[in-house]
């Protein structure tokens, strides 16, 4: 594979290797945070799939390789396949993406929407919007050819355990933390996000139990009302 690196590009050394084990290790290092480029990892995954390198790594198919990757790195399958989609799109449209200087900083999460966007828009326009738009805007554009205006994007949107601020994914609460912990964390994150929307401030107070919490809430509401009344 020829070098894809040039000024402002995002590829790291392992992606140029012909050794499946080296590509595999590079992907794992990136997942674990040792390396920085998500897009490079996606391209590595795409090479593992397109060149059937999973066989040299002793896996019967790509699905089995992804299962092994998830087990070793504790990463969810949906994330792995999302990165794979980024890599496949980059390889397919590599020349156009290099021409516009597309990098990790431009949002590789937009790449899986590229094929769909090209079906509804002019090629030059699509690649310009890919570079300029946010993930949310480009996803909307890919669906209809019309981007949702920033003014129409809610400040806070919650999809399952994922919180979005102004269309950008901000926080994911791990679903494996247990029902009680998940509920408390989601409630806390929601309060913080609402405070950000209103330009307010959140103060964290650690209390020993729910009895103390209930007493504190009553007093806190009273004190807040007095403060706001006095200006």
Residues 98/6, Cβ–Cβ less than 8 Å: yes
pLDDT tens, residue by residue, 180-206? 888 888 888 888 888 877 777 777 788
Mean pLDDT across the stretch 168-172?
A: 80
Instruction: Give the mean pLDDT of 146-159.
Output: 66
Instruction: Give the chain's mean pLDDT.
Output: 82
Query: CB–CB of 157/175 below 8 Å?
Result: no
For the chain, what are the domain ranges?
13-153, 154-231
Q: In what order do the strands lie in the sheet with 168-172?
A: 156-159, 162-165, 168-172
Give the span between the Cα atoms of 137 and 76, in whole angstroms. Answer: 25
Tens-digit pLDDT profile for residues 75-108: 888 888 989 999 999 999 999 998 988 888 888 8
Reported as a single tens digit per residue, the pLDDT across 113-132 is 999 999 888 888 899 899 88
What's the predicted TM-score (pTM) here?
0.55
């Amino acid at each position: 594979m020829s070098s894809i690196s040039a000024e402002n590009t995002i590829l790291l050394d392992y992606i140029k290797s012909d050794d499946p084990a080296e590509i595999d290790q590079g992907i794992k290092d990136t997942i674990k945070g040792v390396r920085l480029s998500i897009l490079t990892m996606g391209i590595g995954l795409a090479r593992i799939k397109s060149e059937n390198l999973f066989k040299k790594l002793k896996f019967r198919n790509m699905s089995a390789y992804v299962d092994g990757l998830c087990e070793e790195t504790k990463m969810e399958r949906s994330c792995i396949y999302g990165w794979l989609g980024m890599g496949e799109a980059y390889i397919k449209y590599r020349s156009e993406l290099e021409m516009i200087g597309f990098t990790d900083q431009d949002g590789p999460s937009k790449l899986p929407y590229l094929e769909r966007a090209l079906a509804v828009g002019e090629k030059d326009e699509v690649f310009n919007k890919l570079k300029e738009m946010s993930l949310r805007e480009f996803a909307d554009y890919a669906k209809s050819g019309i981007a949702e205006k920033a003014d129409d994007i809610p400040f806070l949107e919650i999809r399952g355990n994922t919180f979005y601020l102004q269309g950008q994914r901000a926080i994911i609460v791990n679903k494996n933390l247990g029902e009680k912990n998940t509920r408390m964390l989601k409630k806390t994150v929601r309060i913080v996000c609402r405070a950000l929307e209103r330009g307010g401030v959140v103060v964290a107070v650690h209390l020993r139990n729910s009895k103390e919490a209930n007493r504190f809430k009553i007093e806190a509401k009273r004190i807040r009302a007095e403060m706001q009344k006095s200006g």
